[in-house]
Amino acid sequence: MLLDNQIDISKELMDFIKESPTAFHVVKNFSTMLEKAGFIKLNERNKWKIEQGGKYYVTRNDSSIIAFQVPDNMEFYNFQIAAAHSDSPAFKIKENPEMVEDNNYVTLNVEKYGGMLMAPWFDRPLSVAGRVIVREDSGLKPVLVNVDRDLCVIPNLAIHMNRDVNNGIKYNPQKDMIPLFGEIASKDKFEKIIAMEAGTDADSIVSADLFLYNREVGKIWGADNEFMSAPRLDDVMCAFSCIKALTDNKENSKSVNVCAIFDNEEVGSTTRQGAASAFLKDVLYRINLALGGDHESYLMALAESFMISADNAHALHPNYTDKADPVNRPTMNGGIVIKYNANQKYCTDGISAAIFKELCREAEVPYQTFVNRSDIAGGSTLGNISNTQAAMNTVDIGLPQLAMHSAYETAGVKDTESLIRAAKVFYR
């Protein structure tokens, strides 16, 4: 049976997703949540003044964010870290994006960002959002933009012109996935539309990081309203849960509680704001220094620390049950998924799994296990990548979903609340 708070949290998540079409917007909206909860923004360029009992956050590239709470009592000191990512697979707008087709249509030149399912992007209302860099008298200024209207569509080819389409098709991203923007009269309007959203003129825009996004809003559905579908559930669902748990936390007597949301997980994490960067290590080290520690005390703190790497997991698919492991078959609304892999694509081991299971038991939330079929290679996520910079005991977990990396994904209504509840216990 669904509880009212589970439905309310799912609706809150879907509202957040609607307002967060790109990683830049995710971080901006998380910043707003943190500031409402009393967190103070720090700047990597400045010297940090950190006080016991204080709450702080710092961003990098406007697309990654790390927030932390300092305990009042520093007699016992370690880091309790929950990590997730802000980005999702999408189409990035190329430079000089407008293309004229047959002197009739204007299309937009795009390229794939991350490993997405391409077919669900067809015939959906799409728009453009991201970051532009604007030239002002005082210098260059980043400005977030979101064209909040249905701006373009990637139209399918009619079945009459491709009779074999239902037998499978290999999509060419440079040919098949190009969005229609307007008629020929719309030539040269794209930059003007973006400039209008940025509150400037086209000549003042120096550069941009812009993405297509699906305009369809999230919905709760099912016989008993037990499911939800929305864009970008992977991994805003986990990121939102971790941030919400941190902002709601009122108890913290012995650990520095940290929530790290990284960008660029979908393309390998090897950027200055990704999990493979020194961002987390830099922040943890500076916290330690600001509280009077040295290099040795930092290493001692890491040795006592624990990380939850939270990135959504594959649920059992009703039409493809053969794709799941014979016995490890997580389902939506079945609880948090603990992810295992013998080749360490996930960093869960016996110790970290035991710690997390005890955490779930204390929080009174269900948990499940996921392991790939032995004949199907799986993906990797944040845990092992971030541990190359700041090594600590880590468990890889996620919330179960269907259609991962689709333009419109599906998950269970109960599961977001479960992760929030577990993360609150983790942060005590």
pLDDT of residue 1: 72
Q: What is the pLDDT along the chain (428 residues), one digit of tens a residue?
A: 777 899 999 999 999 999 999 999 999 999 999 999 999 999 999 999 999 899 999 999 999 999 999 998 777 689 999 999 999 999 999 999 999 999 999 999 999 999 999 999 999 999 999 999 999 988 999 999 999 999 999 999 999 999 988 998 999 999 999 999 999 999 999 999 999 999 999 999 999 999 999 999 999 999 999 999 999 999 999 999 999 999 998 877 689 999 999 999 999 998 999 999 999 999 999 999 999 999 999 999 999 999 999 999 999 999 999 999 999 999 999 999 999 988 888 899 999 999 999 999 999 999 999 998 988 877 777 888 888 888 899 999 999 999 999 999 999 999 999 999 999 999 98
In the Cβ-directed half-sphere of 408, how many Cα atoms lie within 13 Å?
18
pTM here is 0.95
Residue 225: left (phi > 0), alpha (psi -120 to 50), or beta? Answer: left
pLDDT of residue 77: 82
Domain with CATH 3.40.630.10 in the chain: 4-88+231-427
Q: Which residue has the tokens 């500031």?
A: 35
Q: Could you tell me where the DSSP H helices lie in 264-349?
A: 279-290, 295-303
pLDDT of residue 315: 97
CATH number of 4-88+231-427: 3.40.630.10
DSSP state of 157: P
In the Cβ-directed half-sphere of 36, how many Cα atoms lie within 13 Å?
11
Amino acid residing at 161 = M
pLDDT of residue 249: 85
Domain with CATH 2.30.250.10 in the chain: 90-214
pLDDT of residue 389: 86
pLDDT of residue 250: 81
Q: State how far the Cα of 179 lies from the Cα of 181, in Å rounded to an integer.
A: 6
pLDDT of residue 306: 96
Q: State how far the Cα of 401 lies from the Cα of 10, in Å rounded to an integer.
A: 14
pLDDT of residue 341: 87
pLDDT of residue 83: 97
Domain 90-214 has CATH 3.30.70.141: no
pLDDT of residue 377: 78
**β-pairing, 313-314 with 400-402?**
parallel
Q: State how far the Cα of 428 lies from the Cα of 426, in Å rounded to an integer.
A: 6
pLDDT of residue 267: 93
Q: Specify the length of the chain in residues.
A: 428
Give 188: exposed, middle or buried? Use CB within 10 Å, 0-12, 13-18, 19+. Answer: exposed
